[in-house]
């Protein structure tokens, strides 16, 4: 409307502009080639110019701009948060509408952040991404930059899914070619948090000593649905499984070369946060309370990862035997993020 008013004023008081603005009873308002500034203004005039006084043939409005934003707004998130993308179109008649459902929403780095649901961004690793939006109609909005940082570990994020406290004298779970009561002990630690976490600086303790048996290297990234297996010693290079990592106990105390030292009569497996004091997970067994230790086989959560009690590994339906470092008891792989965030 303001365009019309301006035009009327101009036509009334500045007759010399008649040729530019097309004043008069006709409709010669179309842009004239390279004169883009005037052309774009007068183009909308021609749509709303109604000499007849009736609203007869108004063409459909068009999208003039599109904006994409995060709701709530964010420039940095941790892996414990998700982001919600909202796409809004502004139309030539001044109205706006939500066109999120009609827009393609993509991440510039899907390993860092991905869209498993249409408009919900799920962080997977630390880093910086651009969220790119392609609306079905109208111009692409500016991409949304976003930085992802790793969430701090909390109690409950990690669970001891499997503990091999008393390996069989003929077993070789770490597959280093030797059976060893210390080296072949292991704990299988599952990420039950549903988000990516970093075990860097986290320590493993048994009971009765004031020194950790193992300190996880920085960073040790564990994504949702993944596990890491900590063996007492030996080598683990022959082991591999999807969504699983394998490490050997190591600490800085040369006088404490006892592996992870899980006593067969009873002990407590503990994980502490990098601050050295916060307990992340604690599982007593045998004489320390909790489940009885079984000989020559491991204890495994029932159901795996989400359970709160332990059972003999060999009793699990479909069990592959006495232990299963890096896989479910039936030998199947852990799901990783793809199983935690279904599309
Ligand atoms: Ca033992
Ligand atoms: Ca071995
Ligand atoms: Ca011990
Ligand atoms: Ca297992």
Ligand sitting nearest the alpha carbon of 296: 1
| Cα of 77 from ligand 4 centre, angstroms | 32
Q: How far is the CA of 300 from the centre of ligand 4 (A)?
A: 7
For residue 72, the model assigns a pLDDT of 95
CA of 323, nearest ligand number: 4
| DSSP structural state of residue 183 | T
Dist. CA 178 → ligand 3 center (Å): 22
- pLDDT at 22 (0 to 100): 35
What structural domains and CATH numbers belong to the chain? 2-48 (no CATH), 63-149 (2.60.40.1080), 151-343 (2.60.40.1260)
Tell me the backbone φ, ψ of residue 191, rounded to 5 degrees.
-85, 105
Ligand nearest to the CA of 325: 4
Structural contact between residues 125 and 112, judged by C-beta atoms closer than 8 angstroms? yes
Say how many Å lie between the CA of residue 260 and the centre of ligand 3: 7
Largest pairwise CA distance in the chain: 105
Among candidate residues 180, 197, 178, the one with its CA nearest the CA of residue 189? 197
Looking at residue 208, its pLDDT comes to: 77
Paired strand residues for 266: 286
Contact 19, 1 (CB under 8 A): no
Closest listed residue to residue 70, CA positions, set 111, 129, 16, 13? 129
CA of 251 to the centre of ligand 2 (A): 19
**Which residue bears the tokens 């020559």?**
296
- pLDDT at residue 106, rounded to an integer: 98
In which order are the strands placed within the sheet that holds 203-205?
214-215, 203-205, 266-272, 279-286
- Distance (angstroms) between ligand 3 centre and the Cα of 111 equals 39
- Which pLDDT score is estimated for 224? 98
For ligand 4, the distance from its centroid to the CA atom of residue 275, given in whole angstroms, is: 28
Q: Residues, the chain, total? A: 343
Distance CA 75, CA 173 (A): 45
Angstrom distance (rounded) from CA 325 to CA 310: 16
Kindly give the distance from the C-alpha atom of residue 230 to the centroid of ligand 2, in angstroms, as a whole number: 13
DSSP state of 38: H
Report pLDDT for 5.
Answer: 37
pLDDT at 283: 98
Q: Which ligand is nearest to the CA of 164?
A: 1
pLDDT score, position 270: 97
CA 270 to ligand 1 center in whole angstroms: 15
- For residues 308 and 281, the answer to whether their CB atoms sit within 8 Å is no
Tell me which residue of 189, 153, 172, 169 sits closest to 279, measured CA to CA.
153
Q: What is the pTM of this model?
A: 0.81
Low-confidence ranges of the chain (pLDDT < 70): 1-56, 254-257
277 DSSP assignment = S
Distance in Å, CA 282 to ligand 3 centroid: 14
pLDDT of residue 58: 72
């Amino acid at each position: 409307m303001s365009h019309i008013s301006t035009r009327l004023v101009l036509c009334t008081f500045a007759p010399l502009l008649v040729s530019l603005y097309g004043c008069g009873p006709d409709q010669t308002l179309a842009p004239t080639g390279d004169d883009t500034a005037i052309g774009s203004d007068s183009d909308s005039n021609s749509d709303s110019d109604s000499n007849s006084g009736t609203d007869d043939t108004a063409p459909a409005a068009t999208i003039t701009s599109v904006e994409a934003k995060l709701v709530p707004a964010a420039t940095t998130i941790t892996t414990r948060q998700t982001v919600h993308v909202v796409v809004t179109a502004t139309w030539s008649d001044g109205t706006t509408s939500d066109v999120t459902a009609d827009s393609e929403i993509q991440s510039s780095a899907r390993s860092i952040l991905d869209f498993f649901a249409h408009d919900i961004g799920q962080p997977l690793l630390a880093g910086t991404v651009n969220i790119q939006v392609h609306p079905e109609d109208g111009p692409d909005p500016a991409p949304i930059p976003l930085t992802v940082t790793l969430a701090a570990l909390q109690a409950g994020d990690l669970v001891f899914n499997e503990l091999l406290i008393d390996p069989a004298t003929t077993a070789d779970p770490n597959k280093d070619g030797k059976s060893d009561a210390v080296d072949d002990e292991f704990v299988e630690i599952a990420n039950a948090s549903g988000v990516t976490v970093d075990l860097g600086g986290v320590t493993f303790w048994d009971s009765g000593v004031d020194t950790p048996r193992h300190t996880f290297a920085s960073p040790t990234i564990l994504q949702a649905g993944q596990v890491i297996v900590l063996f007492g010693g030996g080598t683990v290079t022959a082991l591999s499984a999807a969504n699983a990592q394998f490490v050997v106990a190591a600490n800085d105390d040369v006088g404490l070369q006892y592996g992870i030292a899980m006593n067969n009569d009873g002990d407590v497996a503990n994980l502490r946060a990098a601050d050295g004091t916060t307990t992340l997970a604690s599982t007593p067994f045998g004489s320390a309370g909790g489940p009885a230790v079984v000989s020559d086989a491991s204890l495994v959560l029932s159901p795996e990862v989400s359970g709160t009690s332990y059972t003999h590994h060999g009793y699990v339906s479909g069990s592959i035997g006495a232990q299963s470092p890096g896989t479910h008891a039936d030998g199947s792989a852990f799901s990783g993020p793809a199983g935690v965030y279904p599309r």
